[in-house]
Structure formats: structure tokens, C-alpha cells
Structure 1
């Protein structure tokens, strides 16, 4: 844990893979393309990759959202959400949302850096991924209104080639997509979360390979 922590803390200060990595996991429309236009500028938000040790391996929590009418209903995501006026910055947003959604308290000094911002056109958000390192496995307490299930992803599992797969999905009842995804705990992790994790994976490969 010390090795990867030191590596990430140093690596996140250097130029990041950014959009090149994001594009690798971007879902593509099948057939008719569609354009999303918004009258307002994107809202700001943040998510948390909270690394923790457990039985000699390193994990971070993912969560499945309950089904609802919004564009991300039922999807797998990292804990996170919209920046509130009371948040002094996006790191504070990620810390607050992580506590509210999965009950994990993260101290300021456990945050080691951030990944590249991601423009999530489906929901008109710009999301900043924050990375933290916890000393031990946390106790998870889910908010039942926002979280249906919490599960863990193993860091080294992410870089295995068989973890990356492709499927076809239908969203908004009519839009067909060819979607790259990470197969994590038999969950289809696609969309914005997969794009964020794609950049994380490119950085992890530098450490593990």
C-alpha cells in the first residue's frame, strides 16, 4: 500500500493521460447518432476513488444506484455528486458525497490528488475524480435512497485484459450503444465511470508493469 501510495502521489502531479484514456471507454451509438444540447453550462461535480487495504490486496468501493428515471438510474458509479454552495472546492464535494452515500469518512490528509476532469454530456456535468488512500478497510453504510448496493473493486484486477469487454446496451428506451465496459464483480461498469477508471488504469499500468 505504501508503494502504490507513494507512486500515485508523485504521478498525479505530472501530466495525465486525460482524454486519450477517456475515449477508450466511450460508448458509441449504433445507427442514428444523437446530439445533446443544453441551455445552461455544465454543472460541477466530483467522485471519489477511495483506496484501502484488505487481506494483502488493494480495493476501492463502487456502488450501484437504484433504478430511477434519470440518465444514470441503475448504473454502477463511484461515490460522488454535485458540488454544493457550502463546498469550498471539489475535493470537499467528493469527501462529503462519499460520507453521505456510503458512510465513509475521509480526512483531508488522506486525499493524494485528482485525475483529469471528465465532461459527462449525458447529464451535463463536469466531474473531477479524487483519489484518497485509507489506512484500513472502512465500514460501509449505504444511503438507501441513493445506493442499492456497495461492492469492492480490486485495483490489480482492473489492469487484467479480460476485465475489459464490450457489450450492446439500450438506454432511454430507444438509443442503442456499443459500450466498452469493465467486468467487476460480474457488474457492467460502463459510461462515465468506465471512462474515469480508464485513465486510472493507464496510470496503474505504469506501476504494475
Structure 2
């Protein structure tokens, strides 16, 4: 029986460029000297019945920023965090109840710059034991799993657009069932998909 994590581990060993929310919008001119804040997100991977699954969150609908969007658990690096990996693990514990000692960090993906001026480091973590998913009620509406194979298959992605700050902005989407995965989350997954198909 093949290792469900083998394609992921092979992808992590490959090189690729960083990404941004502006990749599909070449006309956007970013301000010189802009200050980006470091952040970390965790892509929690769990093998269930021989299938690699990714845990994602649906953000609470009342939030000021990105309400209802699909996201990896994560957030900005605090002074108390040793690095962005520590920030990602801390936030995953706070947002979905994932104990830090239940995660084996497999590696990181290239950074992703967001429209909200964060430079996000995606951390890939293998969940090594069962835990009770506990959504942080003030921030997370739902936690769900999606097969890793679905969100790393380039055929499942499309480019869509909407008006943003008076201009048409394009972005990747990778829908799954009732979940509309787009924006930074979809762009990070698209980057992983490209590495896995290299």
C-alpha cells in the first residue's frame, strides 16, 4: 500500500517561488517601503483510513476581517512566539483545540503576501494522534476536512474575479462541496498543487 503522504513529502523537498494575493493582478502597483507583518498558518494534515485529509476552518460570520471565509488556522506572530512556526501551532491550538504536541512539523512552504500586509508562512503539520476538535467560538464557525488530493489537483482550481477597491481583482478558487475556498488559502494550496505536479 502506497504512503498517502509520499507526494506531499516529495513536494516539500522541491523549490518554488513565494506567492501573493496580487499574482493574478499584474497591474497592481505595490507601495515602495511597505511594511509586512509576519504571520504563520498551519496546514494540518491527518491520515484517515489511508487518505490524507486537510483541516480547514470557516471563519465566524460576525468577524470584522474575512467573515465566513475558509482559512487555515493561524495568525500574526506575537512577541511571545519563537518564530512563525510557533505562531501557527499556537493559533491552531487556540482556534481548533489542536495540541501542539500532537503535531509533527513536516516543513514549510514559500511565504505568501496578503492584501492585508502580512507575509504568511504556511507550515505543514502532520496530526499524529486523535484530538477533540474544539472551534474557538468567537472566531471559528466550523472546522471541516477536505481530501489533500482534492486541493492539490490543479484541475480543481479556477480563476475568478470581483471588484475590489474600484478595480477588478482576480484570484484562485478550489471549491469543495458547500465550501468556497478562495483568496490566500486557495493561492497557497495552488502553490502546493504546482509543487506536487512538478
CA contact (8 A) 1:24 1:198 kept: no
- TM-score normalised to the size of structure 2? 0.83
Greater shift in the superposed pair: 195-204 or 129-138: 129-138
1:204 alignment partner in structure 2: 196
Q: Distance in 1 between matches of 2:11 and 2:160?
A: 32
CA contact (8 A) 1:111 1:130 kept: yes
Highest relative contact order (Cα 8 Å, sep 6+), 1 or 2?
A: 1
CA contact (8 A) 1:25 1:191 kept: no
Q: Secondary structure at the match of 1:3?
A: coil
Q: Distance in 1 between matches of 2:22 and 2:113?
A: 13
1:184 alignment partner in structure 2: 176
Q: Distance in 1 between matches of 2:74 and 2:21?
A: 22
Structure 2: segments with no counterpart, 5+ residues? none
Structure 1: segments with no counterpart, 5+ residues? none
Residue from 53, 66, 69 that aligns with 2:64: 69
Higher helix share: 1
Q: Distance in 2 between matches of 1:75 and 1:204?
A: 25
What is the count of residue pairs matched by the alignment? 197
2:3 alignment partner in structure 1: 3
After superposing on structure 2, the runs of 4+ consecutive aligned residues of structure 1 that deviate more than 3 Å are 4-11, 22-29, 33-40, 159-162
Q: Distance in 1 between matches of 2:25 and 2:142?
A: 27
CA contact (8 A) 2:7 2:196 kept: no
Q: Distance in 1 between matches of 2:2 and 2:85?
A: 22
Closer/same/farther in 2, CA of residues 35 and 11 from structure 1, 3 Å limit: closer
